[in-house]
Amino acid sequence: MKTVFRNAQLVCPVGGVTSGDLLVDGETIAATGEFEIPSDAKVIDLAGKTLAPALIDLGVFAVDQAACRAGGIARVGLMPDQSPVLDDPGIIRRAALSGKPALWVHPLAAATRALQGHDLGEMAINASAGARAVATGRGWIASSATMRKVLAYARDIGVVVVAHAEDGGLTDGTVATEGETATRHGLPAAPAIAEALAVARDLMLAEETQARIHFRQVTTAAAFDLIRAAKRRGVRVTCGVTPAHLLLSDIAMSDFRTFARLSPPLRDESDRQAALVAVRDGTIDVIASGHDPRGPEAKRLPFVDSEPGMSGAETLLALSLGLVRDGLVPIERLFALLAANPAKILGLQSGTLEPGAPADLIVLDPGAPWQIEAERMVARAGNTPFDGLPVQGKVLKLFKGGTLVE
């Protein structure tokens, strides 16, 4: 089946922003710009609306089809922290099928068995079963010897290691970042340097093994400086961040609202500003939701006893579009952060509007206003620290492989 999207504003991380048409043939983008419209094609007139690549959310903790549909996400990189843990080829294959037909799920296999940080996982077998990367999960691998083996093995089989960057020796038992907010509220806190310590070690190991490493969330100025320097040296490193760490500081925890308890925790305002600089200068490669829906049993507790995490899939695009309106990045660069770069890290050919790419597309009204309301979110749970925030940018339609996702 052929479909032509006419009169669109095309936003492509490779081709930039143009006006024109786009032809889908089957599950693939066949042409963009000006071309002869096939007589047997279905024509959809977008009347100037934006047509862009569907988002690829790298590092979610739940397969949440409704939230992804609302947020314009066609593909997710699923973290191994599942029940059971994604450390077996059979479990990997089941996870890869769990989003069909509405969502592509790309499992990230556990770097160590049961995510215990000791024995290496069966990386090659799990990769052959469909794993697109290996990941340390929510935690840090404390043993440098084990982490070195993980990186070397991943290098040999050609996959990236997705790492959590916090030194567990400093962060165990803590819920916040050391500073005025944590002190005023009596919260157990860890110094922000816990992140930089973990990043520094893993960068040295990645450089020595020549492996690819992706830090799923980087949130401090010191860690950004380390990654900038490593990139200049040619280390094969990429890093991501969530909208929460771009838009909120630890002041958001001031009312003990557990929706603001995250991992890594919210940082000082100076670190938040450093994250914005890192987006602008290209240090940050990926913006991801960190989607981790938590119900009342996990969040309606004292702050220290609650579980970290936020529901972010359906708000990812709207919150990120604020970076465009603020002049931090152009919209085509934003879609590199949200689609093209995650695709490269996972070894996918998607994330652009280039001919030959999968027809994973969104129709977007970037100026449409709406308000984030936790109780009305379609996600499994509405644990968002952005409850009540007015935003702009609404996904009107999502196409996965050329097929409309209802």
Chunked into runs of 10 residues, the chain (406 residues) has average pLDDT values of 96 97 97 93 96 98 97 98 97 97 97 97 97 97 98 98 97 97 96 98 98 98 98 98 98 92 97 98 98 95 96 98 98 98 98 98 97 96 96 98 95
Residue 384, class by beta-carbon neighbours within 10 Å (0-12 exposed, 13-18 middle, 19+ buried)?
buried
Q: Residues 117, 63, 12, CA angle at the centre, nearest 5°?
A: 100
Cis status, amide bond into 101, omega within 30 of 0: yes
Taking CA atoms, 78 is separated from 109, 360, 379, in Å, by 9, 18, 16
Give the bridge partners for 53, in sequence order. Answer: 361
Q: What pLDDT score does 158 carry?
A: 97
Q: Residue 31, by phi and psi: left (phi above 0), alpha (psi -120 to 50) or beta? A: beta
In a domain, 201, yes or no: yes
Q: What is the pTM of this model?
A: 0.97
Number of domains in the chain: 1
Q: Looking at this protein, which amino acid is placed at residue 182?
A: A
Specify if 270 maps to a domain: yes
Cα–Cα distance between 361 and 8 in angstroms, integer?
Answer: 12
Distance, in Å, from the CA atom of 276 to the CA atom of 124, rounded to the nearest integer, reads 37
Half-sphere exposure of 109 (CA within 13 A, CB side): 30
What are the b/e assignments for 59-80, b being 16+ CB within 10 Å? bbbbbbbebbbbbbbbbbbbbb
Closest CA to 70 of 316, 383, 336: 316
Range of the domain at 375: 54-352+366-389
Q: Is residue 18 part of a domain?
A: no
Does residue 377 lie in a domain region?
yes
Domain membership of residue 96 (yes or no) is yes
Domain CATH for 231: 3.20.20.140
Strand duo 2-12 + 176-177: pairing: unpaired
Per the CB < 8 A criterion, the answer to whether 353 and 12 are in contact is yes
pLDDT at 390: 98
Residue 405 lies in a domain: no
Amino acid code (one letter) for 315: T
Question: 120 forms bridges with which residues in the sheet?
Answer: 112
Rounded to a whole number of angstroms, the distance between the first and last alpha carbons of the chain is 18
Domain membership of residue 406 (yes or no) is no
- Contact criterion met (CB below 8 Å) for 311 and 298: no
Is residue 398 in a domain?
A: no
Can you give the pLDDT at residue 255? Answer: 86
